[in-house]
Structure 1
Amino acid sequence: MCGIFAQIGQAPEILCQKLREANATRGPDARKSCRTCLSQLDLEFFSSELRLRGNDPVIQPHKRDGNVFCWNGEVFAGLDIHADENDGIKLFEQLYSLETCEQVRDLFASIEGPYAFVFYNATVQKLFFARDPLGRRSLLIHRPSTANPYFILASVSAGSDSGYSFEELDTTNILCLDVGLLNESKDIVSAFDDCLTTFSRADAGSVNFYAQPAKVNTILPPNDTPLPDDSLDVIPDWLQESVDGLISVLDRSVMLKVRDIPRDPVAVLFSGGIDSTILTLLADRHVPRDEPIDLLNVAFENPRKMKVLQEGNPNGGRKKKSKARNGVNESANNVASSNSPQYMVPDRVTGLEEVEELRQLCPGRVWNFVEVNVPYHESKAARQHVEGLMNPVRTVMDLSLALALYFASRGIGQVRPEPEDEPIPYTSPARVLINGLGSDELLGGYGRHRSAFITGGWAGLQLEIDRIPTRNLGRDDRVISSHGKETRHPFLSLDVVSYLANLPVQMKMDPRLSLGVGDKILLRLAARKLGLVEASGRRKRAMQFGSHSARMEGDMKGDALLE
């Protein structure tokens, strides 16, 4: 994983330096720039390196005979890479001989993993760049304008600045900029669009298995489809094979995400919900037993919530909180009783419950339950920095989610060697973070899926694989990677996506059943089969509400733009 900054033209040096520094935080192991000069245009390529593959130090950009490759990604399938090899080097070896966009497109259509890349072929003087089909890695683009007549690509911006107008790079295409033709023009602004070509991934021919996400099975169940029991205790015969298939494909995805990581332990962004818990349980199968696994659980001091706690909530908030507390088991309750009340947020409660369930199922593992407590003054002080990392997205909900991810992934908190012990300060050294994002889109976990069924029946349900690339994965990557860490999404392996997309909708969700059963029923049955009794029945709760990072100061709607 790395930070990428590339520019063509003559961007102000002070702006370039800001962008180099912003992208350097993503890769603390190495950084380097290289330049290429044509008759009219200067090209600069900068990369920083977070080394997570291979045994030998790697310094980017990769260079050979004038060709330059900046790689921010991981290859998990489609390319034969040994544990001691670096995937960026292996890809560059193959790219070196390619000259056309079709060839480049077909190479990337054959690999699976999160990525963004920039590749300059000096022979044909063309620049190729793209993100993976699901947009799991960030790449921002600034197109030349009259005010700012230069071209920039960057993994992350340096915050709001009049020197660029960044937008997320679309994931639909591989893009090719004819730098030689652009160099011959007198005006980079007017010539740019004519020099830029887009190639759809869907035309990748016989090697297009990883070219784009699989299409959703649109065959609808008959109107008289039997209603399963409103329970997770027994797997219906007609779902047995699909449950086993999901466990198998998800287990393999987790294995590929956690194996062969040098030096540091693995961490999970851990709310205690079904998504993060089942991934954690599967990770236990593949992480050496003598290595701890860090469970990063974030909680915010929220002035509005504290006021409700102190004065009561006329809408029943206190009653709901009390009900949640009653579900905490004895060991978790020991920790809860010694926690400051402002940090006993919903995700802390469920997290404490689930770490106890994991300890019962996997007694040989050291589970570091990291209580990441964020005082209000600290989250307020970080707001400007986090808004800069989010850029170009700027809504209230973006900020709430970004704050939660920023502090959780930083991993500074406290742990308790035993549940009844006093906490001791702890900073997670993990540089790979497992994230449960993606299951709701694939398995019908959102409330709007139930609403769509109520109004339109089975035909009204449209599971949202096509929306995943626009679900702000780039934002999450920019925020988490600012700590020199990498997030990995087992649910968003294209193999997992393909498996679930091919299943009929009634195998993935059944809105006729109650909440905590019918939503994501396939995953719930899989979790129950693996022994996660408590986790299997957890209801969906958004991160910003579970951690109390939302609405700290007012009631602005989530889609409102930040001031």
Structure 2
Amino acid sequence: MCGICFICGSLVPPQQLEDQICSDHTLLCHRGPDVYGKKVVSISDKVTAVFEGCVLWLQGIEPTTQPVTDEYGNILLWNGDILAGFEIPENESDTKYISDNLATKGEAAILSFLGTIKGPWSLIYYQKEKKRLYFGRDVFGRHSLLWHLPSTVQGIFMVSSVCRQRENIKEIPAFGLYFIDFTTVSLEEFKVNLIPWSNVAEESLMSLEPVIKIQKQKMVSSIQHALNMTLPSDSLLLHLKSLPSSFDMEVIDKLYLSMKDDIKKLLEVLTNSVQRRIDKCPPKCLSCTNSPLKCDHSRIAVLFSGGLDSAMIALLIDSCLPESESVDLLNVAFMQRVSQNVKTSNISGEKNISKSETNPLVNYEVPDRISGKQCWQKLQEIRPHRKWNFVEINVTADELAKERESVICHLVAPLTSVLDDSIGCALWFGGRGRGIVMGVPYISPARVLLCGMGADEQLGGYSRHRRCFAEGGWSSLLNEINMEISRIHTRNLGRDNRILADHGRAPRFPYLDEDVVSTLNSFPIWIKANLYLPRGIGEKFLLRVAAAHLGLSTSAALPKRAIQFGSRIAKLENSKEKGSDSCVRLIRK
């Protein structure tokens, strides 16, 4: 994970540009604590630019300082992971590999190269000879990229992973690769070109800023299969309706036998996805980056509620990581005030005379803590050779208010809703990994954080999927899932990336691996979800059967529970607010 930033201005002194970056420098460095670099470039007689890179070491034998300048004067800022698609030399970083491969490529070759990458990325790339600046995000928008467009008030253009909360900062839509041709464009008459991903719908492009010109060529991603829109036959419908609505071992065994081939395919690609994200992690944790000694701390952590998605990721890690390595399970809970009735004798000590007083107590036994502990115990039972560190992250109301005002409000921005606040705060404290393990204070040193985002959208896991199914049947459900997969880049992954990467560790999403998405797209809908069955069984049906077969029976039967409710942050705040309301707590006074 890296913090990357490009800023340029017309007839603006370099010091003024650096002052602009300086206000965001701390947030950029949080994302990339290992090495830092900066380069000032004169693009033309009128335009001066500053490139800044803060690097988290993830690939290669040592960190690669950014920006990277090649022999032709081209400049690369790369925030991403090549997890597959190319064979990178064992001791070379993906940043160096990309810089070398883009050095002599024309536009068509650049598009092909970026489209072949499997893994999350955002980049800023300047071609010196053509005076052309490229920037963009992967097809799912898994890494954050924001921009500030020049105006008559402030003639500055900026592209950055993260920046402090202020006006006119917006998230760059992950619609494709953008470019600015500085041979024909000035910041006074500003135009941005967009080469869209081939899967982006035309109506989505209509919402873009007026300064953006859509190019005719397209970028093709490495997603091999579009969503299978086949509907079940009448005879199949009868079978689907007849399936048992329980999850005892006898039922699980029968379901597994009938779905064995599909489960095998899913587990194969999902295990490969987890393996890729573990393999692309240095042999040292965050605490041991500069130590000459061998590291024996946790390099890998899971954002862990004990629910289906995170439980499956944790279990698959066990088959991908040497037995000697521990794994941190990060479980966040917000304080809950509970009344306790206390009986006290009267002042004279007379028996049978008492009064009731209510003393507020604080506890952290929220739903995600309870399910997390249950799943942790199950993991220890079925995978006893592994050291599983269950990290209890307890957050007080005072600490929540303090960190929201000083840091989290900037990371959530430019989003402003109550829902963004609740999820953003829960993810930030969970990703920080500061808690207790078996009663002892502990801070996770993990360099990579695996998260379960993306499973619900693909497997019909949300309550709105049930509403669509109830109102319009299988066709309506398919249309909703198809829309959600196609628009996932416009939702909240940029926000989640800004939040989680603030602790100097890389959030990675195994369910959004390109091969996992392609495989799930190829399955017919009734394999993935059977919403004739009750809540906690029918949604994400394929994944539930797979998890139960592997021994995670309790997690497999847990209904979907969003982090803001499972961690109880929503209860700690104003319970009368709606998720879509603007959140006054995010606005700095």
Identify the TM-score tier after normalising by the shorter chain: 0.7 to 0.9
Which amino acid is the alignment partner of residue 452 of structure 1?
Answer: C
SS in 1 for 2:363: helix
Counterparts of 1:163-562 in structure 2, within 5 Å, are: 165-182=168-185, 185=186, 188-189=187-188, 191-193=189-191, 196-202=192-198, 208-210=220-222, 214-224=225-235, 225=237, 226-227=239-240, 228-232=243-247, 233=252, 234-235=254-255, 238-262=258-282, 263-264=284-285, 265-302=299-336, 306=337, 342-384=363-405, 385-416=407-438, 423-461=439-477, 462-463=480-481, 464-554=484-574, 555-562=576-583
Q: 1:85 matched to which residue of 2?
A: 92
Going from structure 1 to structure 2, the CA distance change for 1:235 and 1:107 (only over 3 Å counts) comes to same
Give the conservation status (yes or no) of the 8 Å contact 1:134–1:213.
no
Max radius of gyration: which structure?
A: 2
SS at 2:398 equivalent: helix
Partner Cα separation in structure 2 for residue 177 and residue 23 of structure 1: 23
Q: Partner amino acid for 2:190? A: F
Sequence identity (%):
36
Q: Match of 1:286, SS?
A: coil
Residue-by-residue CA offset, 1:254-301 (whole Å, 9 max, x unaligned): 111112522022000000001001100000111111111000000111
Contact 1:269 1:435 in 2 (8 A): yes
Match of 1:16 among 21, 35, 51: 21
Check conservation: 1:105, 1:201, Cα contact below 8 A: no
Letter in 2 for 1:208: V
Could you say what secondary structure the match of 2:244 adopts? coil
Residue of structure 1 in register with 2:110 after alignment: 104
Structure 1 alignment gaps of length 5 or more: 312-339, 417-422
* Secondary structure in structure 2 of the residue aligned to 1:271: coil
Residue 28 of structure 2 aligns to which amino acid in structure 1? N
Unaligned segments of structure 2, at least 5 residues:
200-215, 286-298, 342-360, 585-589
Q: Is the 8 A contact 1:371 1:415 kept in 2?
A: yes
Structure 1 position 544, deviation (Å): 0.6
Does structure 2 conserve the Cα–Cα contact (< 8 Å) formed by 1:27 and 1:49? yes
Compute the TM-score of the two structures, normalised by the length of structure 2: 0.84
Summarize deviations over 1:385-427 as a string: whole Å, max 9, x none.
20111110011110111111111111110001xxxxxx01111
Structure-1 separation of matches of 2:102 and 2:571: 48
Does 1:153 pair with 2:159? yes
Which residue is equivalent to 1:319?
A: none
Contact 2:3 2:29 (C-alpha < 8 Å) held by counterparts: yes
Matches of 2:398 and 2:364 in 1, distance apart? 14
Report the counterpart of residue 2 of structure 1 in structure 2.
2
Distance in 1 (CA, whole Å) between partners of 2:262 and 2:69 is 46
Given that 2:138 and 2:176 are in contact with CA atoms closer than 8 Å, whether structure 1 keeps it comes out as no
TM-score, normalised via structure 1 length: 0.88
Shift of 1:470: 1.9
After superposition, the Cα gap between the structure-2 partners of 1:205 and 1:154, relative to the gap in structure 1 and judged at 3 Å, is closer
Amino acid at match of 1:531: G
Matched residues, number: 513
Query: 2:123 aligns to what?
Result: 117
SS for the counterpart of 2:183 is helix
Aligned to 2:353: none
3-state secondary structure, aligned to 1:219: coil
Query: Residues 205, 239 of structure 1: CA spacing in aligned structure 2 closer, same or farther, 3 A cutoff?
Result: farther
Q: Are 2:98 and 1:94 aligned?
A: no
Q: Tell whether the 8 Å contact from 1:95 to 1:104 is kept in structure 2 after alignment.
A: yes
Supply the AA of the counterpart residue of 1:6: F
Residues 206 and 47 (structure 1), Cα distance of their counterparts in 2 relative to 1, 3 Å cut: closer
The CA deviation at 1:451 is 1.1
